[in-house]
């Protein structure tokens, strides 16, 4: 029986993924910052893990290995969006965004890769975003983290393939989760009034687009496919918006693409 460990499994994509693998017979280590144990089952382990806290990672891996004997797959899902005007963001906030979305994810990879190498196999599944290959206004630092995850993951896949460690990149479009409300770290200093009109318009339009997003179960499906299709495929794009925009970005010149986005969201 296979075991999957998922970060950020309290809500949204992480939660849907945990449920999907559990329903299909895997052992699930559902890790979260604030554990809540609502299911008693020998294939289900909830344990505390904050990706910014190395001790919590070590304890979670120990608990997972003690319970299930091995870990076959890691889903690096934990993350959130720092959103707003870059000029309003202080360094602490920017560092916190990188600390979670980039260094937290790398910390998890560093914790699991030695075990996968010793096991002779394993799978790293990193949840990036369509926003790891294209951009929208007011998500500058979030995009910087997801572009970092995208490049990191693509490069890492080369060096881990000979060790039989498969690496996968999940690229969701807008997904209806807590991402846009509870989890979002929105910052805009209204005193920087030159931005106010475009912030109001842009955020309103982006929230509207997000409200038409796919369900988190669509991402769980893609993660399931990535974990089980036996292929060496790297990228799994989820959602009609992500597929359409990434295709558009490939075929139209850069300037045309950026004018289209600006017109749609700010024009
Ligand atoms: N929703 C979208 O449109 C969308 C699109 C593309 C990519 N994504 C990516 O998908 C991933 C999951 O987001 P979601 O949409 O499912 O949003 P979500 O429902 O807000 O879930 C985010 C999860 O990450 C956890 N988390 C945040 N900081 C953490 C930390 N330091 N350590 C451990 N866990 C932490 C949260 O835990 P708490 O419950 O403790 O806050 C929560 O479980 C993120 O990486 C996000 O960037 C989302």
CATH number, domain at 116?
Answer: 3.40.50.720
Beta-carbon count within 10 A of 203 CB: 18
Q: Which residues lie below 8 Å from residue 193, measured CB to CB, with a gap of 6+?
A: none
Of the candidates 80, 139, 142, 195, the residue annotated as catalytic is 142
Q: Which residues lie below 8 Å from residue 33, measured CB to CB, with a gap of 6+?
A: 10, 48, 49, 50
Q: Which residues lie below 8 Å from residue 207, measured CB to CB, with a gap of 6+?
A: 180
Q: In which domain, by residue range, is 100 found? A: 3-266
7 lines ligand 1 (CB under 6 A): yes
The mean predicted confidence, pLDDT, of the chain is 97
Considering only CA atoms, give the Rg of the chain. Answer: 19
Measured on CA atoms in the order 62, 67, 71, 73, is the torsion positive or negative?
negative
Ligand 1 pocket test, candidate residues 18, 79, 219, 240, most atoms within 8 A of CB: 79
Residue nearest to atom 26 of ligand 1 (CA): 78
Residue 96 has pLDDT above 80, yes or no: yes
Q: What separation in angstroms does the CA of 141 have from each of 18, 86, 186, 228, 237?
A: 28, 8, 12, 33, 21
pLDDT class for 37, splitting at 50, 70, 90?
confident
Annotation says 142 is catalytic:
yes
Which ranges of 129-266 would DSSP assign to H, the alpha helix?
140-160, 196-211, 216-228, 240-251, 254-266
CA distance 240 to 172: 9
Half-sphere exposure of 88 (CA within 13 A, CB side): 20
- Of ligand 1's atoms, which has the minimum distance to the CA of residue 104? 31
Residue 81 has pLDDT above 80, yes or no: yes
97 lines ligand 1 (CB under 6 A): no
Domain count, the chain: 1
What is the mean predicted confidence (pLDDT) over 48-65?
98
For residue 48, the model assigns a pLDDT of: 98
Report the separation in Å between the CA atom of 193 and the middle of ligand 1, taken as the mean of its atom positions. 31
For residue 38, the model assigns a pLDDT of: 78
């Amino acid at each position: 029986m296979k075991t999957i460990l998922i970060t950020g499994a309290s809500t949204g994509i992480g939660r849907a993924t945990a449920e999907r693998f559990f329903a299909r017979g895997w052992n699930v280590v559902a890790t979260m910052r604030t554990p809540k144990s609502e299911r008693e089952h020998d294939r289900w382990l909830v344990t505390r893990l904050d990706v910014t806290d190395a001790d919590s990672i070590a304890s979670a891996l120990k608990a997972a290995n003690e319970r299930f004997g091995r870990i076959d797959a890691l889903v690096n899902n934990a993350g959130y969006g720092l959103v707003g005007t870059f000029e309003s963001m202080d360094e602490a906030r920017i560092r916190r965004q990188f600390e979670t979305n980039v260094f937290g994810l790398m910390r998890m990879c560093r914790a699991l890769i030695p075990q996968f190498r010793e096991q002779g196999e394993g799978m790293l599944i990193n949840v990036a975003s369509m926003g790891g290959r294209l951009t929208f206004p007011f998500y500058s630092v979030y995009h910087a983290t997801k572009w970092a995850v995208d490049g990191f993951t693509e490069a890492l896949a080369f060096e881990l393939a000979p060790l039989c460690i498969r690496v996968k990149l999940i690229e969701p479009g807008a997904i209806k989760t807590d991402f846009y409300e509870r989890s979002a770290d929105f910052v805009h200093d209204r005193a920087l009034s030159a931005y106010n009109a475009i912030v109001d318009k842009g955020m309103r339009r982006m929230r509207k687009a997000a409200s038409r997003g796919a369900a988190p179960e669509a991402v769980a499906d893609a993660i399931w496919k990535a974990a089980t299709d036996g292929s060496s495929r790297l990228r799994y794009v989820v959602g009609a918006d992500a597929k359409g925009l990434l295709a558009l970005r490939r075929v139209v010149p850069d300037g045309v693409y950026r004018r289209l986005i600006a017109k749609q969201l700010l024009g």
